[in-house]
């Protein structure tokens, strides 16, 4: 019951956040704070319930992502060779893959805290980088976590995330390219679908 309340609360909040023009750093901060707050209190997620984590990501995080742009970045120069139909399947499958990865990471949460780095935006900027740092509760070197956002008609949207300097989006570029070399764009789509399916069965087994 409580989790349902949190869930609905999150839904309302997410809508509120996206409804008005929020500065990119404020957006990242409010979404991160909300999500971690929920994960902190949710024993199921912390015990590895990826489905529940995925539902949280779906509601709180996804509205602020531009998956078209993300897919395009991962595809690189192959993007223009894809038909409109292929593009829409690619966006869908890539979205599923990223959500699954993100949700899995949330279930590994262990009381880390987030440090928000100073953010300055020049007037008229349409693309910005918001820097944060993950601090380990046990000490040790903090991990850099940076978000790239672009201005759209529906507010600021994230189009890339870098963890310790590793872009979660462009990291796929080489493997996508090699899938395409082997089986064309449809081959890549098949691989993505198979990957996403295997994830589902693994989740069911649990």
Q: Which residues here bind other proteins, judged by CB under 8 A?
A: 68-69, 72-73, 75-77, 79-80, 97, 100-102, 104-106, 108, 110, 112, 126-127, 134, 136, 138-141, 143-145, 148, 150-151, 161-168, 170-176, 178-179, 181, 191-192, 195, 199
Backbone angles phi, psi at 117, to 5 degrees: -80, 155
Q: How far is the CB of 33 from other proteins (least distance, A)?
A: 15
| 17 close to 34: Cβ distance less than 8 angstroms | no
Q: Please enumerate in sequence order all residues whose Cβ is within 8 A of that of 164, keeping only pairs 6 or more positions apart, or say none.
A: 143, 144, 145
Q: How far is the CB of 1 from other proteins (least distance, A)?
A: 28
| 116 close to 29: Cβ distance less than 8 angstroms | yes
Backbone angles phi, psi at 84, to 5 degrees: -60, -40
Beta carbon nearer to other proteins, 4 or 165: 165
The number of CA neighbours under 13 Å toward the Cβ of 203 is 17
Q: Please enumerate in sequence order all residues whose Cβ is within 8 A of that of 101, keeping only pairs 6 or more positions apart, or say none.
A: 168
Beta carbon nearer to other proteins, 62 or 97: 97
Beta strands in the chain (DSSP E): 113-116, 127-135, 143-152, 155-163, 166-167
| 140 close to 155: Cβ distance less than 8 angstroms | no
Q: How far is the CB of 4 from other proteins (least distance, A)?
A: 25
Nearest alpha-carbon partner for 174 in 160, 188, 162? 188
Beta carbon nearer to other proteins, 26 or 150: 150
Beta carbon nearer to other proteins, 2 or 110: 110
Beta carbon nearer to other proteins, 3 or 104: 104
Q: How far is the CB of 110 from other proteins (least distance, A)?
A: 8
Beta carbon nearer to other proteins, 17 or 72: 72
């Amino acid at each position: 019951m409580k989790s349902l309340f949190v869930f609905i609360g999150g839904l309302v909040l997410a809508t509120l956040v996206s409804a008005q023009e929020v500065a990119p750093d404020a957006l990242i901060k409010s979404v991160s704070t909300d999500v971690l707050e929920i994960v902190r209190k949710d024993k199921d997620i912390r015990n590895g319930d990826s489905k529940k984590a995925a539902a949280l990501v779906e509601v709180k995080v996804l509205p602020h992502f531009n998956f078209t742009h993300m897919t395009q970045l991962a595809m690189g120069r192959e993007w223009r060779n894809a038909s409109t139909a292929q593009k829409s399947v690619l966006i869908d499958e890539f979205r599923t893959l990223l959500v699954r990865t993100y949700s899995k990471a949330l279930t590994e949460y262990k009381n880390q805290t987030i440090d928000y780095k100073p953010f300055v935006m020049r007037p008229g900027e349409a693309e910005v980088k918001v820097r944060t740092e993950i601090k380990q509760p046990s000490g040790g070197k903090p991990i850099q976590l940076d978000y790239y956002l672009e201005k759209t008609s529906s507010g600021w949207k994230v189009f890339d995330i870098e963890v310790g300097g590793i872009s979660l989006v462009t990291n796929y570029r080489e493997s996508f390219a090699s899938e395409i070399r082997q089986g064309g764009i449809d081959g890549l789509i098949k691989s993505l679908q198979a990957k996403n399916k295997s994830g589902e069965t693994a989740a069911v087994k649990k």
